[in-house]
């Protein structure tokens, strides 16, 4: 299937975005919304320099100056579609979502998206990030192990055995870290390293947010957008409305 191209029109110019076929649910949902004119007149409501620009909140269409945005949605989410080949390089189109504490499955917003601007990283910084992300995965293993030892934890709490609780916590933490390092260590591919060191991006989001497209022309328009003055909520001081259409093939 030929990859679909979107035309994002902003006050500063036009941006062409390719949708990946590897993420069909996100692709099809985006095309549906675009064809319905859902995004027309909505705003880029969150802009953070050296990171990303975010839009797609339906509430932004009628928002007043100073209104806090980012909570609007379409009433559904999209299951995550992760692929090691699709990552947060500069120009990546990605799905916004609620945080892990309420959304452990990392399901995507049905409408909000962001485009990565990011910054460049050196190899040493990326290696340090790999270590941090491996330890984050260890937290997941820790929670799993804690569930398995629920009865022991319950008993120690009832006994008010602080030393026993501390010893068990240390035991589980060590097991979790070992599991993360042996079973599921985080590693950037050479393709990712090349992209992040030469062009830049937001590597710390890889594996946590779905990437489903990329800018193929007009990145300069996005770079100008990320320079606008913003308020304390990262909303541009002057509204930045958008229009999105499917480009003619």
Strand order in the sheet with 52-55: 44-48, 52-55, 113-116, 92-95, 211-217, 13-19, 5-10, 243-246
**99, 89, 58, 114: which is closest to 194 by C-alpha?**
89
In which region does residue 139 sit, left (phi positive, over 0), alpha (psi from -120 to 50) or beta (all else)? alpha
Quote the tokens at residue 173.
Answer: 């933490």
Within a 13 Å sphere around the CA of 98, how many CA atoms are in the beta-carbon half?
Answer: 14
Is the pTM of the predicted complex or chain greater than 0.85? yes
**C-beta separation of 40 from 34 below 8 A:** no
What is the arithmetic mean of pLDDT over 167-183?
89
Mean pLDDT check: name the lowest of 40-54, 68-82, 129-143: 129-143
- pLDDT tens per residue across span 178-235: 888 887 788 999 999 999 999 999 999 999 999 999 999 999 999 999 999 999 999 9
For residue 124, is pLDDT > 80? yes
Alpha-carbon gap, residue 171 to 249, rounded angstroms: 59
Contacts of 163 (CB under 8 A, 6+ apart): none
């Amino acid at each position: 299937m030929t990859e679909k191209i979107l035309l994002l029109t902003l006050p500063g110019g036009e941006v062409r975005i390719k949708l990946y076929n590897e993420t069909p649910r996100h692709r099809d949902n985006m095309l549906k919304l675009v064809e319905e004119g859902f995004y027309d007149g909505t705003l880029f409501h969150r802009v953070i320099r050296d990171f990303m620009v975010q839009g797609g909140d339906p509430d932004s269409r009628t928002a007043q100056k100073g209104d806090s945005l980012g909570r609007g949605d379409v009433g559904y989410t999209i299951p995550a579609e992760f692929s090691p080949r699709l990552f947060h390089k500069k120009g990546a189109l990605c799905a916004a979502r609620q945080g892990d504490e309420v959304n452990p499955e990392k399901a995507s917003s049905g409408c909000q998206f962001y485009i990565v601007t990011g910054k460049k990283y050196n190899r040493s910084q990326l290696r340090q990030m790999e270590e941090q992300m491996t330890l984050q995965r260890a937290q997941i293993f820790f929670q799993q192990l804690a569930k398995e030892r629920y009865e022991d934890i319950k008993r120690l709490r009832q006994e008010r055995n602080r030393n026993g609780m501390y010893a068990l916590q240390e035991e589980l933490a060590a097991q979790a870290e070992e599991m993360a390092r042996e079973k599921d260590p985080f590693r950037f591919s050479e393709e990712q390293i090349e992209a992040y060191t030469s062009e830049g991006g937001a590597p710390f989001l890889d594996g946590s947010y779905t990437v489903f497209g990329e800018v193929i022309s007009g990145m300069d328009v996005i770079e100008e957008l990320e320079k606008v003055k913003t308020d304390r909520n990262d909303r541009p001081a002057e509204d930045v409305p958008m229009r999105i259409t499917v480009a003619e093939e």
